[in-house]
Structure 1
Amino acid sequence: MLGRRGALIGAGAMLATAAQAQGRGNWPDRPVRLLVGFSAGGPTDFAARILQDPLQHLWGQPLVIENRPGASQMIAAEAVAKSAPDGYTLFLSTSTLTANPAVFSKVPYDTIKDFTPIVIIYSSPTVLFTGPDQPYRNVQDVIAAAKREPGMAAATSGVATSGHFATEMFMRAAGIELTHVPYRGATQALQDVMAGRVPITFSTLSGAIALAREGKLRPIAVAAPRRTPSFPDVPTMAEQGIQIRDTSPWYSFMGPAGLPQPIIDRIVRDVQGLLKRPDIVRRIEESGGVVEGEGPVDFAARIPREIAINTELARTANIHID
């Protein structure tokens, strides 16, 4: 009897040791799903696919990208939050994650408790653009025009986007009144700015870089702490006398809460290593991005800080989505 009990205990210990070993060193031993909360072809999808092939090579397993668009990425986020914390379901998250709790009355997960922040891949600066036929060459030109014409229109890709937050902060910092004109996505907003129907827009560089390079949009200020390599001659908002918080969207890997530390460490090491490769850096910068590589400790601290800032701004500017 004792021998049988000892054998059972020994077998249980072996199974536990095997499970721990899998968490430490054998991950992944099957395909990994990467959920993306937006449609294929956009900036978020690009952030997933730029690392797909090199990570598959490093991991020896397929990295399967699943696009689950809708509800400001909350559909994909909820699926990840409810998945097993085994490293086989990951989330290509964006900074929308920290805006949603500030503007939606109900979010189907706890943004802080239900996820494991892993690593930020890159960010894309929010930039103040105007049309090529507009007279504005800098921020002060826009401020002067807005003071002459209170309520001047400012387009964005939608309510509670990085462009919307930047617009609200710009108004308060500059002491001007703008009329926010939200569109259903960046494409139509940028088209109307190019055509002169709306004079200005705050837009992510990744969504507008091709048009700006073609001269169809004029970048006049970077709403980020530093200039962008894509347009090094365009000064920041701060350099032009206006201090606003950085609203640059970021793109990251996250997992469900409770992800084992060895898996976190593996993903961070592999992603940070890839972000040092010149070919990957070049592709990110050509798309309008800025390489980040921020690891889990700093990333985890960023999330509640951004939620608090976004919540206060949403309250002040009366930004909400039912």
Structure 2
Amino acid sequence: MREKVMPVARMHVTRRGLAALAALPLAARAQPAWPDRPIRLIVGFPPGGPTDFAARILQDPLQQAWGQPLVIENRPGASQVIAAEAVAKSPPDGYTLFLCTSNLTTNPAVFTRLPYDTERDFTPIVIVYSSPTVLFTGPDQPFRTVREVVEAAKRRPGMAASTSGVATSGHFATEMFMRQAGIELTHIPYRGAPPALQDVVGGRVPITFSTLSGAMPLARDGKLRPLAIAAPRRSPAFPDVPTIAEAGFPIRDTSPWYSLVAPAGLPLPIRDRIAADVQGLLRRPDFVRRIEEQGGIVEGDGPAEFAARIPREIAINTEVARLANIRIE
């Protein structure tokens, strides 16, 4: 009897093994390789601005690398809070990405409440490039150096300085510059960079801190005069313009950066694939040239470096916001 039972048992095991083997291709098909459908790239600002440019410079080469459409979706408002909330609430499947700026680390410092947790609700992937904050003056102003601006501000306490808005990189740079130089400026926040720059061009405001990418056309046409780069190194677009530290007034780098972020929980193979593909683009001379033509400086920090940078910048921004009493309700 035992000899008759054993073959039946063996046959039973063999059939189970065959069934398991037959099921493997089905499991593989149930979890297709990423990507197999279009990917959303959410941008927290309107079309046509520096952030939108950063998204569009990535769009074509990444579509070619991934074999799927990369659909740009502009969701402007509230210093990219609206866009960030939408990303934080999206599935972490690699089909929703966020082309975000350094507002990611300034918003926690200035907003009383946010509908997401910056350090918990996102997967940092890669920082693509930064655009240095620059101290500009108008062509009819007498200033040729940063020190001349400081001397004028000491003679005229409360001299006006425009920026593109409250809690922007320009605002943070203005506050730190005042403290470093021992001067008092009257901060005039505008609704965006164009009107802030135009009032400097027209001579109504003597100076502004603005991103180079936003001011590049006016600077190239001689309608704005760059005095100093508020970044660790000079810009390839204006190599003769010193850094603000070289001019004798070192302040923390406030250059906004443009990065790719995903919802928290993004699978590591997808995260690493995206980071590697973008870092590959940053080694291409033609791609780097397009960034530098817009006043950008290539970065390339990957997931680990990017993740470490976020809490560090939040802490610094929080201290600057506290000293300058910058709050948004």
Q: Distance in 2 between matches of 1:264 and 1:209?
A: 33
Aligned residue in 1 for 2:129? 122
Matches within 5 A, 1:57-206: 57-206=64-213
2:323 to 309, 313, 316: 316
Structure 2: distance between partners of 1:101 and 1:7: 55
What is residue 48 of structure 1 aligned with on the other side? 55
Encode CA deviations 1:76-129: one digit per residue, 9 max, x unaligned.
Answer: 111111111110000001001111111111110000010000001110000000
Query: 1:206 corresponds to which letter in structure 2?
Result: S
Amino acid at match of 2:246: E
Partner of 2:36: 29
**How far does residue 243 in structure 1 lie from its aligned partner after superposition?**
1.1
Counterpart CA distance in 2 for 1:18 and 1:125 is 46
Matches within 5 A, 1:248-259: 248-259=255-266
For residue 230 of structure 2, what is the aligned residue in structure 1? 223
Extract unaligned runs of 5+ from structure 1. Answer: none
User: Which secondary structure does the structure 2 equivalent of 1:35 belong to?
Assistant: strand
Within 1, Cα distance between the matches of 2:77 and 2:17?
53
Q: 1:77 to 1:7 in 2, by over 3 A?
A: farther
After TM superposition, give the deviation of residue 269 of structure 1 in Å: 1.2
Between the aligned partners of 1:15 and 1:243, the Cα distance in structure 2 is 61
**Bigger Rg over Cα:** 2
Post-superposition shift, 1:6? 8.1
Which residue identity lines up with residue 184 of structure 1 in the other structure? R
Alignment partners' CA distance in 1, 2:311 and 2:18: 48
Deviation of the 1:276 alpha carbon: 1.4
State how far apart, in whole Å, the 2-side matches of 1:40 and 1:7 are: 56
Letter in 2 for 1:143: V
SS at match of 2:306: helix
Deviation (angstroms), 1:277:
1.4
Aligned CA RMSD, in angstroms, stands at 1.8
Q: Which residue of 1 aligns with 2:6?
A: none
One-letter amino acid of the structure 2 residue matched with residue 208 of structure 1: A
Equivalent residue letter for 2:153: A
Measure, in 1, the Cα distance between the counterparts of 2:16 and 2:84: 44
Secondary structure, counterpart of 1:244 in structure 2: coil
Offset from partner CA, 1:137-169 (integer Å, 9 cap, x none): 111001100110111111000000000000000
Gaps of 5+ in 2: 1-11
Structure 1 runs of 4+ with >4 Å offset: 2-20
Alpha-carbon spacing, 1:241–1:27, altered in 2? closer, same or farther (3 Å) = same
TM-score when normalising by structure 1 = 0.94
Q: What amino acid is aligned across from residue 298 of structure 2 in structure 1?
A: V
> Percent of aligned pairs with the same residue?
77
Q: 1:19 to 1:226 in 2, by over 3 A?
A: farther
Shift of 1:182: 0.4
CA distance in structure 2 between the partners assigned to 1:148 and 1:47 by the alignment: 41
What is aligned with 1:213? Answer: 220
Corresponding pairs, count: 317
1:247 & 1:142 partners in 2: Cα distance?
19
Aligned equivalents of 1:19, 1:118: Cα separation in 2: 26
What TM-score, normalized to structure 2?
A: 0.92
